[in-house]
Structure 1
């Protein structure tokens, strides 16, 4: 019975230690997300054009988040959102692999022995700091301490097992079959979604004498392969570029494993001759393996990118699928928020194109264009729903106050954009179709007036769209100031139209209903544009200082605007 109790206690300690380890990684990651998460996207976007800086960024971010898997999943999401390309991601992935080696080295240096003081320091920072920034630093320190506390508890639980002949025989059976050891470690790493956790367990097993260094090395190879599986699953059903990034990570790990596997025995013999500490032998094996993979594949990154582009050719994105949203990145809220912003900006551009089509139909009587506008409205309505659902899920994640306000602002913008698209498809398009079917012609004055107010609303829409894309307070203010001008113009044009009706002008009488419906629709669109501009100015911009007389957008060439909007 005592023996059974002892085994139960050891099992509970192992389970609790693993729980603390994973929870520590989660707490530390969440704290770091709140501190610098909003800069991650800018960091990756800035350094990916410089391969060596990409290596450093990948290593540093992975050291902070204690997971190359998390770094790779972030890159997969950014690639899916067209923020970075495959060629830009490869150095960061290789750098992330080097970053994972730090955890094993810290364990070998006995950092686990000071895990409780680290937790204590973090707790003091959290409970005695009044500023949120310092509290987040404390949260990250607590997570770091819990990570190593979990490893210490697991090590203490495994200490008596070194005398267990049954366990030693079972581990010997696994380690004597290298491929089985690699497979088991790969599956375990994939299940816990953390290479740092898997490596911690391997170091603990080796330090307690439960496995020798050769068996530990095979487990390390499996852990490295398993760390790449999560990114593969997060890329399934995503864009080709994201799938290429995930495939590149898998190929680098598997390729490195194949290259070093035949030399495992002499390599381990050399490691044991360098140091007698099992912990350092395992940590050094992991470090040297990942350095070797980086050195082997870094010069081949462009060739590898070209090969993957041929193996995984580009595929067309379905109309009803978002271009930038990626649910795998909801666990990295700051980056997910940036991608949601890009999706909202893209939908704003789509609505702007729909409104421009109104003028083309009025001028050239293109009935097929009205049918395309209805189809596009169905597409954007679906995308509006998906974007709103995505941001709603995002708002449930840990966000700073500023990020939460941005998320709420994006939902407001989506709501007004959807109402504008509804006005175009349900109020304007039926009138345009009736105009074409019944061959309605405006009077020359009526046409000039409709063109005049259309241009004003179009300018307001372009200003609002640019303000949204650039998060520009000044452009938003210009759009807001245009709204009273549109209202005043509409009242005047409605009066002049009624005056022409009194004169009995034939074209005016025939087009009266269409004319007034268009005026009414334009005013309603302007109201929603004002709402969007107010949201941009109040919730989506940081700097709220404008020059005395900012230039109006209408001074820019129309062709340049069209190109810029298409580039979104």
Structure 2
């Protein structure tokens, strides 16, 4: 019965450890405030740079799984190329070994054990003070990080103190680890424990704790297959996260899996070949906590070094497994798939995914606008059906993205994340309205076709000018949503002003034509309807710029006049220059 309670306490210690690790990881991610994703997204094609960033980020958040899921999200959102993902994933495997190196401090005996207990207590006190006294969220988050580290160390100490009396000198434990010298069994155990704990680092630390308390039962021959199994087990979560993602996101998850699987197989072949021919002097010797941590690090560093020249091979293997689809199938790919609820645990990734879905809404809206404009020149009922299908997709995306943003808003967000979520709420409405006005244009084209009515050649040329301006301003709104680039944002308002002037000029010109009998009144009404719709589309693009600038500049709200002031502050000469450029580009004088 005593052993039963000790085992129960040890399991409680494991729960404390996992919770502490989760609290620490979450706190570090919140503190990063999106910096982590921004850095990863900017990693170049240099494999060594990618590996370095992957290792640093993973060591910072204490989770290779979190890093890999972030990478999948960035690849899925088109913010990171697959080649860049290879190096980051390799680096993540190195970074995750730092956890075992750090926590070995908690696993000693005597003074070392007392030191870790004291550190745990001090961190807990400091963390509680930060949480209770601090008013700003960033300081409360620091408190969460300290509490996480404290609980993590306390969990390790609890596991060790309760397992040691049970494991020390136990023949059953020796027999069990004797069986685990079978590499297949050892690897399977590593995989299963990692999947259950959702962390390869946690699985390695459990092995360290057993080694510390068993009094020499854990040997090199039985420990190293378990360690290698943990590397394969850690692929489970990223693979699951990629199931509903784009083909490149699936490839990124498979890169992670193939890298760990092939690395494990190669290492097994080398280790057992040397053992069979020369023999390892430490094969049957005790594998201590420090040995386990060191082997975990050395194994991942060597495998990464081996694969550096073959990064392209890994990429090709993933591409062969998930081949390209024909263009027509790829065009049907729904951006709803980006909105996987598994990403909600990492708000920055979820926001990046949502933003990509909003960008896709803009792309669909622009396609509908361009297709609607074509209907005035050459009416096609099949194209009308496609426009209506895209409009239905836009409506569905608006609903789906809105629901996802509500769930995202319920997560713990920092100020920047909360501001971006609010902006995305506005943007989905703006792009959906652009789609609605494009459908209105379609309906006007249909009426003209049914009535067998036509605009004059001059009126058609005028519409081509204004349609070109609207297509460009929608493109700028999409690009601004994707990049948040201030240079792009500052181009929208000058073009919107040009559109307003152009519409007013065209209204006046067309009214004169109608008065002079050059255009039937019925047809003239449709012409004015078109101008009203395109002007409103331009206004919605301007609204998008206002929301994005408000977010970028961290304003609570931004009124129209404040928006114009901000543009002039950014560079009045730039605004005037762009105004002149667009005025010349979309001038009716070119039609004279």
TM-score, normalised by the number of residues in structure 2: 0.83
State the 1:301 CA deviation. Answer: 1.4
- Rounded Cα–Cα distance in structure 1 between residues aligned with 2:210 and 2:503: 78
- Cα deviation, 1:390-429, whole Å, max 9, x if unaligned, reads 333322222111211111111111112112212222x221
State the 1:514 CA deviation. Answer: 2.2
Contact 1:225 1:253 in 2 (8 A): yes
- Rounded Cα–Cα distance in structure 1 between residues aligned with 2:584 and 2:247: 33
Contact 2:211 2:287 in 1 (8 A): no
**SS at 1:47's partner residue?**
coil
1:514 is aligned to 2:526: yes
- Rounded Cα–Cα distance in structure 2 between residues aligned with 1:512 and 1:456: 21
State the 1:105 CA deviation. Answer: 2.0
Partner of 2:418: 404
- Rounded Cα–Cα distance in structure 2 between residues aligned with 1:27 and 1:468: 32
Partner of 1:255: 262
Partner of 1:28: 24
State the 1:386 CA deviation. Answer: 3.0
1:433 is aligned to 2:431: no
- Rounded Cα–Cα distance in structure 1 between residues aligned with 2:379 and 2:189: 67
Partner of 1:562: none
Contact 2:473 2:492 in 1 (8 A): yes
1:531 is aligned to 2:527: no
> Relative to structure 1, is the Cα distance of residues 472 and 255 closer, same or farther in structure 2, using a 3 angstrom cutoff?
closer
Contact 2:63 2:199 in 1 (8 A): yes
Moved more, 401-410 or 42-51: 42-51
Moved more, 96-105 or 134-143: 134-143
1:471 pairs with one of 475, 478, 484: 484
Moved more, 123-132 or 221-230: 123-132
How many correspondences in the alignment? 552
State the 1:502 CA deviation. Answer: 5.4
Partner of 1:563: none
Contact 1:48 1:89 in 2 (8 A): no
**SS at 1:397's partner residue?**
coil
- Cα deviation, 1:263-315, whole Å, max 9, x if unaligned, reads 25959954579x97711122222222212211222222123323332343223
1:216-255 aligned within 5 A: 216-255=223-262
State the 1:440 CA deviation. Answer: 0.9
> Relative to structure 1, is the Cα distance of residues 487 and 79 closer, same or farther in structure 2, using a 3 angstrom cutoff?
closer
Partner of 1:282: 292
Partner of 1:377: 391
Contact 1:125 1:138 in 2 (8 A): yes
Moved more, 391-400 or 56-65: 391-400
> Relative to structure 1, is the Cα distance of residues 558 and 100 closer, same or farther in structure 2, using a 3 angstrom cutoff?
farther
Partner of 1:40: 36
> Relative to structure 1, is the Cα distance of residues 164 and 270 closer, same or farther in structure 2, using a 3 angstrom cutoff?
closer
Moved more, 237-246 or 181-190: 237-246
Contact 1:59 1:95 in 2 (8 A): yes
- Rounded Cα–Cα distance in structure 2 between residues aligned with 1:303 and 1:400: 40
> Relative to structure 1, is the Cα distance of residues 340 and 513 closer, same or farther in structure 2, using a 3 angstrom cutoff?
same
- Rounded Cα–Cα distance in structure 2 between residues aligned with 1:336 and 1:320: 19
1:162-201 aligned within 5 A: 162-163=167-168, 165=170, 167-168=172-173, 171-172=176-177, 174-201=179-206
**SS at 1:549's partner residue?**
helix
- Rounded Cα–Cα distance in structure 2 between residues aligned with 1:343 and 1:349: 10
Contact 1:480 1:534 in 2 (8 A): no
1:106 pairs with one of 102, 107, 115: 102
- Cα deviation, 1:139-170, whole Å, max 9, x if unaligned, reads 22322222222111111121221258475266
Partner of 1:132: 137
- Cα deviation, 1:534-565, whole Å, max 9, x if unaligned, reads 32232345595410132327838999xxxxxx
Contact 1:21 1:146 in 2 (8 A): yes
2:317 pairs with one of 307, 331, 340: 307
State the 1:11 CA deviation. Answer: 3.4
Gaps of 5+ in 1: 560-568
Contact 2:55 2:92 in 1 (8 A): yes
- Rounded Cα–Cα distance in structure 2 between residues aligned with 1:477 and 1:240: 34
1:386 is aligned to 2:396: no
State the 1:460 CA deviation. Answer: 4.6
> Relative to structure 1, is the Cα distance of residues 471 and 245 closer, same or farther in structure 2, using a 3 angstrom cutoff?
closer
- Cα deviation, 1:162-195, whole Å, max 9, x if unaligned, reads 2584752663464254322321220120122111
> Relative to structure 1, is the Cα distance of residues 299 and 465 closer, same or farther in structure 2, using a 3 angstrom cutoff?
closer
State the 1:489 CA deviation. Answer: 6.4
> Relative to structure 1, is the Cα distance of residues 492 and 91 closer, same or farther in structure 2, using a 3 angstrom cutoff?
closer
> Relative to structure 1, is the Cα distance of residues 343 and 71 closer, same or farther in structure 2, using a 3 angstrom cutoff?
same
State the 1:78 CA deviation. Answer: 2.1
1:330 pairs with one of 344, 347, 359: 344
- Cα deviation, 1:337-391, whole Å, max 9, x if unaligned, reads 2332233233223322322333332234444433332232223333333333333
Contact 1:61 1:71 in 2 (8 A): yes
Moved more, 193-202 or 68-77: 68-77
Partner of 2:163: 158
State the 1:25 CA deviation. Answer: 1.8
Partner of 1:17: 13
Contact 2:33 2:416 in 1 (8 A): no
1:319 is aligned to 2:349: no
1:552 is aligned to 2:565: no
> Relative to structure 1, is the Cα distance of residues 435 and 98 closer, same or farther in structure 2, using a 3 angstrom cutoff?
same
TM-score, normalised by the number of residues in structure 1: 0.86
1:439-454 aligned within 5 A: 439-443=452-456, 446-447=459-460, 450=463, 454=467
- Rounded Cα–Cα distance in structure 1 between residues aligned with 2:483 and 2:229: 45
**SS at 2:330's partner residue?**
coil
Contact 2:223 2:287 in 1 (8 A): no
- Rounded Cα–Cα distance in structure 2 between residues aligned with 1:37 and 1:270: 48
Gaps of 5+ in 2: 108-115, 556-565, 586-592
Contact 1:34 1:136 in 2 (8 A): yes
Moved more, 539-548 or 154-163: 539-548
Moved more, 461-470 or 284-293: 461-470
> Relative to structure 1, is the Cα distance of residues 268 and 187 closer, same or farther in structure 2, using a 3 angstrom cutoff?
farther
